[in-house]
Amino acid sequence: MEQTDTQSTVDRIKQQISENPILLYMKGSPKLPNCGFSAQASQAIMSCGEPFAYVDILQNPDIRSELPKYANWPTFPQLWVEGELIGGCDIILEMFQQGELQPLIKETAEKHKVDEDNAE
């Protein structure tokens, strides 16, 4: 029984990552973050000016326990872009300060806007 619970959580994680080109796993929400690291990370991503998805791991204890194993990354927040783990707060802020985060977020958002237009 337990195996399927773990499996379905991992499947949900994979689905979230594949369906959301820009995805932040965090504590709380971008408007009401529940930890300083999540607050800083979501601020940096928000200031790139593109919409992004987020999952509040405090509301999803199963994801909170499984994602670090799946991602091989022990802490939150975690930023995923196009199915790739970018990293946590330190990496997000460093990329932001070096001007690397903004083009990554913008280009990803643009690319997926185009996909949506083509889908119709």
The domain made up of 2-112 has a fold known as Glutaredoxin (3.40.30)
Instruction: Tell whether 90 is in a known binding site.
Output: yes
Q: CB–CB of 48/108 below 8 Å?
A: no
Instruction: Tell whether 115 is in a known binding site.
Output: no
Tell me the pLDDT of the chain (120 aa) as tens digits: 445 687 899 999 999 999 999 999 999 999 999 999 999 999 999 999 999 999 999 999 999 999 999 999 999 999 999 999 999 999 999 999 999 999 999 999 999 987 656 655
Instruction: Tell whether 12 is in a known binding site.
Output: no
Model-level pTM? 0.91
Instruction: Tell whether 56 is in a known binding site.
Output: no
Instruction: Tell whether 48 is in a known binding site.
Output: no
Distance CA 43, CA 19 (A): 22
Q: With 0-12 CB in 10 A as exposed, 13-18 as middle and 19+ as buried, what is 101?
A: buried
Instruction: Tell whether 111 is in a known binding site.
Output: no
Q: CB–CB of 29/56 below 8 Å?
A: yes
Q: How many CB atoms are closer than 10 A to CB 46?
A: 15
Distance CA 110, CA 81 (A): 13
